[in-house]
Structure 1
Amino acid sequence: MSKRLPNPDEVRSTFARLFADDPEKATAYLYDLGVASGYIETEAVERNIRWTSESAYGTLECTINLSKPEKDPRAIAEAAASPAKSAAAGAHDAVADATEAENRIPSACSSSDSAPIRSVPRCDLCWENEGFAGSPEHPAKPGLRIAAIELGGERWGLQYSPYAYVPEHCIALSEKHRPMRIAAACFERLLDFADAFPFYFIGSNADLPIVGGSILSHDHFQGGRHTFPLMKAPVERDVALEAFPDVRCGIVRWPASVLRLESADRASLCCAAARILRAWQSFSHDACAIASHSPNPSKDGCAVLHNTLNPIVRKTGATYTMDLVLRNNRTDAGHPWGIFHPGDELHHIKKENIGLIEIMGLAILPARLARELPAVQRELVRAARKNRSVAWVQAKLLEQKATAPHASWAADVYARRAAEFLDAGEKSDNEGSTDGFPEPTRRLSPPMQEEVGRVFETILETTGVFKRDETGAAGWNALIEAIRRTDSPRS
């Protein structure tokens, strides 16, 4: 890099000065620093494979991310349960307060020469990552810079994601290392962010394993300059909230179960969202397999919460829109990965948690598919040209490591669409590739793209706590009645 990267305090000071004049100038400054430093790897992002796929719910977006590691949901859950990284909800604030001094970052006006030596960051989102030299257990993040912002009366940070799922994909992160928690205060912080940066969407992963994101140990949001498929989905049923006449509420036509709130009255919208959360956290419905809590023998009989949600906020003019995606993380013998999580039959495409970005209709698929899907496509093309049987195709796919996980699915695709693979093209070697990924993965055939899109649509449908049938409709009715009975939340 030919130009010196400003030190953290200088970045925060410049960001604050630009923000006072124009928030978009401030974010452009911070984003450009991330690109210039190489922290946002634009070349790697450009190599990601992207396409759109039509569904019953509108156009979905699919990407194969070549840089993001695939994570096991069970490992995420174990990390969230670790005493070193998380705390029970009841002890949440006490733990945060006890560690505040340890995690305090020097203010923007402090001298970098007098700043204390940073300890090893507790997670990938801790402010201590900024300037950390690295260790065998925790690699350095050179080029990372964090701007200071205020959300809910607290000091938070703003940085950009190196994975850049969407344009200007940003992360707002608490200065304190504390577990994620969906509560009324969370809604206030999201609305504060929307007021400060109305050109970005902002949302939160859920705060429970299975339905949460990849990091549950550090309170944070994700945002960016993007309109997701969920945001384009219409409200298909209005829901009257008598206590909040200035808030429009409705059920969104979406595979996941979503309530949409709209209002120009920020305070009223926030109160309505808090009431819905409170009702949902205690809601159970046997016919829909929803149980709000389950016993936990290891915690002196204290019940374990299963119901939470993804709140997503955007602002258009004076109007706030908040989508509340209902989530439940319960498991049972028949669904060890989660009753509302993709089952084993879908793991060949996606087994990770379905987090904030994906619940809005953008699939983040693992890098292994950049090798596996072309190999599958190659075999289907060859089989179609030789008029092979479905049984022969499945057996052939099972012989190869790259194609075996997809054998059953691909054989079904072949049975339905063999003729379409005659013209799909067979070139899928690595000749001419500079990154080890076959060039044809940049242009997966339309049938292959459509079929992967269908799998993603099915994955999203598994997350819906109220399925799109009579039983689901009855569940919605029961929840709406529970919301109307729920007292206003305590402040």
Structure 2
Amino acid sequence: MGAPLPAPKEVRAEFDRLLAQDAEAAVAYLHDLGASSGYLDEAAVARTIRWTAASPYGELEITINRSKPEKDPRAIAAAAARSAVADAPTGPGVPRCDLCWENEGFPGAPGRPAKPGLRIAAIELGGERWGLQFSPYAYFDEHCIALSAEHRPMRIDAPCLERLLDFADLFPFYFIGSNADLPIVGGSILSHDHFQGGRHVFPLMKAPVEREVALAGLPQVGCGVVRWPASALRLASHDRAALARAATRILEAWQRFSFEPCGIVAHDADGPHNTLNPIVHREGALYVMHLVLRNNRVDDARPWGVFHPGAQLHHLKKENIGLIEIMGLAILPPRLARELPAVERELAKAARAGRTPQEAEALLLEREATASHAAWAV
């Protein structure tokens, strides 16, 4: 059972006091509260299965996260569409989504469980009131969420980039990034504007630049194409304002860009399709921003997304490739912790019995836990 927590106002006051002196102490205070209350389930996080894999892009990180439920991309898109429609009022103090500030102290309701250990610190980003909390589904050290005080949809634009830079100034020891703001390429919650950050160096941040690019009129901003499986640019500058101008220029150009031979269409009857993942971290006085270009088009041949893994890989994962994964940390669903060992056991038995690949596949198809992996495994 978790330890008793101070009231939200008391937590915010203490966080503010600490932040004025030492940002590291402020976030340590907030994190320790979540851990002591049981809101941050450190035992569940410890059960996460982790390994690394060599690739042409560097060493990638792979996890099977046992604490986060699997979601369907179409359900995520449907939830975003519902949020875009004027909903009936939910009543004062009732959260509209899992990220609303109203979750703090909410006693719970059908479909909206209580979060008794949740505490949110108040910070200012882009002149707006935002909150800071730590994620109960921690994928890495001090995995935090910055969330708008207002329930509003995700939006990647120039003010978003400025808010990311503000966060990096407040907490220069954390990275901070945003999921894309469109279905298929966005995260699991598109209905509430938020960022994710924490104390981690991702494979994307270590990947080499394979080609430098000069930005006209911005000689103080370095820009390069990163050797990465997604189209990614790395901007770096000691001049924050110049970096923001460069990133905004690239964002706005990408939002207009079409090249149909590669399946890229900026806008059609279904709406806009081009967006990006912006990610910021500090290296001393140097600001580094990664921009990963995203497009969420679908077509008849690729109904899950032109640039989304095809159905032949959905036995491993079909959820959106979000911010964390686009940086090189794969988050696979908890069912694989049960299914993949079962596949391994069946293949080992088939090998000992001298079975052919076709016979091994047939054996896998006979079992619920292994059937979806049969063609891939052999």
Tell me if both proteins adopt one fold, taking TM over 0.5 as the criterion. Answer: yes
% of aligned pairs identical?
A: 70
Q: Does 1:368 align with 2:335?
A: yes
Match for residue 183 of structure 2?
A: 209
Stretch moving more, 144-153 or 380-389: 380-389
In the TM superposition, residue 242 of structure 1 has moved relative to its aligned partner by 1.6
Match for residue 23 of structure 1?
A: 23
Kept in 1, the 8 Å contact 2:57–2:207? The answer is: yes
Matched ranges for 1:400-419 at <5 A: 400-411=367-378
Separation in 2, partners of 1:126, 1:62? 30
Match for residue 86 of structure 1?
A: 84
Q: Does 1:220 align with 2:220?
A: no
Deviations 1:113-156 (A, max 9, x none): xxxx9522000000000000000121101100000000000010
Q: Does 1:43 align with 2:43?
A: yes
Deviations 1:373-416 (A, max 9, x none): 000000111122222111111111111111000000101xxxxx
Deviations 1:442-470 (A, max 9, x none): xxxxxxxxxxxxxxxxxxxxxxxxxxxxx
The one-letter code of the counterpart of 1:370 is A
Separation in 2, partners of 1:384, 1:61? 29
In the TM superposition, residue 2 of structure 1 has moved relative to its aligned partner by 7.4
Separation in 2, partners of 1:3, 1:344? 45
Q: Does 1:179 align with 2:179?
A: no
Of residues 350, 355, 359, the one that matches 1:392 is 359
Match for residue 226 of structure 2?
A: 252
Q: Does 1:129 align with 2:103?
A: yes
Work out the number of aligned pairs and report it: 377
Match for residue 164 of structure 1?
A: 138
Structure 2 regions of 5+ residues with no counterpart?
none
The secondary structure found in structure 1 opposite 2:159 is helix
The structure-2 alpha-carbon separation of the partners of 1:346 and 1:2, relative to structure 1 and needing over 3 Å to count, comes to closer
The one-letter code of the counterpart of 1:408 is A
In the TM superposition, residue 4 of structure 1 has moved relative to its aligned partner by 2.7
Kept in 2, the 8 Å contact 1:77–1:210? The answer is: yes
Kept in 2, the 8 Å contact 1:118–1:132? The answer is: no
Matched ranges for 1:1-150 at <5 A: 3-82=3-82, 85-86=83-84, 118-150=92-124
Q: After TM superposition, which residue ranges in structure 1, 4 or more long, deviate above 2 angstroms?
A: 1-4
Separation in 2, partners of 1:331, 1:248? 34
Kept in 2, the 8 Å contact 1:120–1:138? The answer is: no
The secondary structure found in structure 2 opposite 1:124 is coil
Match for residue 382 of structure 1?
A: 349
Q: Does 1:151 align with 2:125?
A: yes
Kept in 1, the 8 Å contact 2:2–2:38? The answer is: no
Kept in 1, the 8 Å contact 2:185–2:296? The answer is: yes
Deviations 1:168-221 (A, max 9, x none): 000000000000000000000000000000000000000000000000000000
TM-score (norm 1): 0.75
The one-letter code of the counterpart of 1:369 is L
Kept in 1, the 8 Å contact 2:2–2:37? The answer is: no
Separation in 1, partners of 2:116, 2:133? 13
Q: Does 1:306 align with 2:273?
A: yes
Kept in 1, the 8 Å contact 2:119–2:133? The answer is: yes
The one-letter code of the counterpart of 1:36 is S
TM-score (norm 2): 0.98
Separation in 2, partners of 1:2, 1:248? 48
Match for residue 353 of structure 1?
A: 320
Of residues 306, 314, 329, the one that matches 2:296 is 329
In the TM superposition, residue 48 of structure 1 has moved relative to its aligned partner by 1.1
Q: Does 1:269 align with 2:243?
A: yes
The secondary structure found in structure 1 opposite 2:293 is strand
Kept in 1, the 8 Å contact 2:3–2:37? The answer is: no
Separation in 2, partners of 1:272, 1:57? 25
RMSD of equivalent CA atoms = 1.5
Separation in 1, partners of 2:19, 2:214? 39
Kept in 1, the 8 Å contact 2:255–2:266? The answer is: yes
